Amino acid sequence: MSTKIELCSYSGYKVYAGHGKRVVKPDGKVVVYLSQKCQRSADMKRNPRNITWTVLYRRKHKKGVIEEQSKKKTRRTTKFTRAITGASLNDIMAKRDQKPEFRKMQREQAIRAAKQAVKEKRATKKATSTTSKAKPAPQKPIQKAPKQAAGAKPRVGGKR
């Protein structure tokens, strides 16, 4: 002989045979409550997801779930070397394998070359500026047309 175990429609807890209350709504829907507390809360239209002791609240807020689930394994990131825009993978590997002294020497050589280029640029700029500094011939000022004499013609027509 097996007894039917039902679930409370409000709290979500098990309702064993001989316990709880079965209510038939006017639309014919049968509702099972574990206790008067559950029935009253349902009648007041309280949301079971916001009531801390209900199963729905515990599911929503992930209470007591850790025991059931095994923790997820975190994925380890793997290093992967690949080419960067403008440099192939072989170039990158060759540069990585170079000795620090060699790299330092290359850097100093590049700095010297850049400084030399700047000096040459300044020298050419200075040479061109000294030749262009010679004063050009002074220009004659442009003469403006002379104004007419103030009282040359009598005005016609009176005040306006």
Helices (H), the chain: 36-43, 55-60, 89-97, 100-132
Q: What is the mean pLDDT of the chain?
A: 85
Stronger pLDDT, 138 or 44, i.e. the higher one: 44
- CB neighbours of residue 90 within 10 Å: 9
Helix, strand, coil percentages (3-state) for the chain, rounded to 5, are 35, 10, 55
What is the pTM (predicted TM-score) of this model? 0.42
Beta strands 21-24 and 14-15: pairing type? Answer: unpaired
**pLDDT confidence bin for 141, thresholds 50/70/90:** confident
Averaged over 49-53, what is the pLDDT?
Answer: 96
For residues 82 and 93, give the distance between their C-alpha atoms in angstroms, rounded to a whole number. 10
Q: In angstroms, how far apart are the furthest CA atoms of the chain?
A: 137
Reported as a single tens digit per residue, the pLDDT across 100-139 is 888 889 899 999 999 999 999 999 988 888 776 655 556 7
pLDDT of 95 > 90? The answer is no
